[in-house]
Amino acid sequence: MSDERTKAIIGDVVEALRGVLRKHEVTFAEYRAGFMHMAKTQEAGELPMLIDVFLNSTVVEIENATRTGSKAAIQGPYFVPDAPFVEGQLAIRDQDMDLPKMLMRGRVTDQSGAPVAGAVIDLWHSTPEGTYSGIPRHGDLDKKYYRGKIKTDADGKYECISILPVPYQIPNKGPTGMLLETYMGWHSWRPAHIHYWIHADGKRDLISQAYFEGGDYVDDDCCEGVGNEFIVPEAYENGMRLMEVDFVLDEASSPKPARVAEPAE
Ligand code: DHB
Ligand code: FE
């Protein structure tokens, strides 16, 4: 049984790739080296990461065309579904207690401006080493650190303190890094950022990120994930970097065009 949508998309992918082969008069040796590199990338467990680096931002761009509230940003590979609920502060390791802090706060509303109370916001960000907790390849730091769920209050407001994240370097020792850095002359850095996943009953989930105005790589993200609307102006409160970010949620029922619908049975 064929699925019409899969058939159409894969047909176009193959046609687009054939166009690239023809345009560059790719030789058999180059073609073979190309797919062997993909095999090596898969063997290193990096295939999802490689594909995300090149294409995740485009899928987000397509999704955003159907949003009228806040725009979504890339999710990245380090969301952990069962992070703990926290009150006002993410867990900070003892050794990091004296590092600069940030205050994340803002308000979640619907499109009429009404507060969305009880929205669950998953927050996650890097350690001071530029890794993520709860990720075996990142040293398996307990997932309670630098990630957690908070809830908006009756006024739709949220507030949470943590330490500042740092720029994150996607692993550059394996086949992905070799492709990006050695063969393509790219760097493999993302600017420091905070991840958000906002869930509220009756609303469309929103996955977002926030970046720090003036931060390294904000203008030069290897994942092309930074949009101006996600850059938070530099401000401080009580000695903490203030990351004030409001979110406007679309209704869950907001129309989605056929191109983002589930494939037909
Ligand atoms: C990657 C890592 C991130 O922290 C992120 O936000 C996006 C992508 C990555 O390793 O590909
Ligand atoms: Fe990230």
Handedness of CA 139, 142, 148, 149 (dihedral sign): positive
Mutating to test ligand 1, I would choose from 47, 168, 196 the residue with most ligand atoms within 8 A of its C-beta, which is 168
Class of domain 44-248: mainly beta
Ligand 1: which residue has its CA nearest to atom 2?
A: 76
Whole-number Å distance, alpha carbon 50 to ligand 2 midpoint, is: 14
Listed in sequence order, the residues at least 6 apart from 85 whose beta carbon sits closer than 8 Å to its beta carbon are: 148, 149, 150, 151
Residue closest by Cα to atom 10 of ligand 1: 170
Q: Distance (Å, rounded) from C-alpha 81 to C-alpha 122?
A: 9
Could you read off the pLDDT tens digit of each residue along the chain, which spans 265 residues?
679 999 999 999 999 999 999 999 999 999 999 999 999 999 998 998 899 889 999 999 999 999 999 999 999 889 999 999 999 999 999 999 999 999 999 999 999 999 999 999 999 999 999 999 999 888 889 999 999 999 999 999 999 999 999 999 888 889 999 999 999 999 889 999 999 999 999 999 999 999 999 999 999 998 888 889 999 999 999 999 999 999 999 999 765 554 444 443 3
Nearest CA to ligand 1 atom 6: 76
pLDDT in the model for residue 260: 45
Closest residue by CA, ligand 1 atom 7: 76
Domain boundaries defined on the chain:
44-248
- pLDDT at residue 259, rounded to an integer: 46
DSSP SS3 for 74: coil
CA nearest to 91, candidates 124, 114, 47, 66: 124
Q: CA-to-CA distance for 18 and 39, rounded, in angstroms?
A: 19
- The DSSP 8-state label assigned to residue 178 in this structure reads I
Predicted pLDDT of residue 151? 98
Task: Using the mean position of ligand 1's atoms as its centre, give its distance from the Cα of residue 78 in Å.
Answer: 7
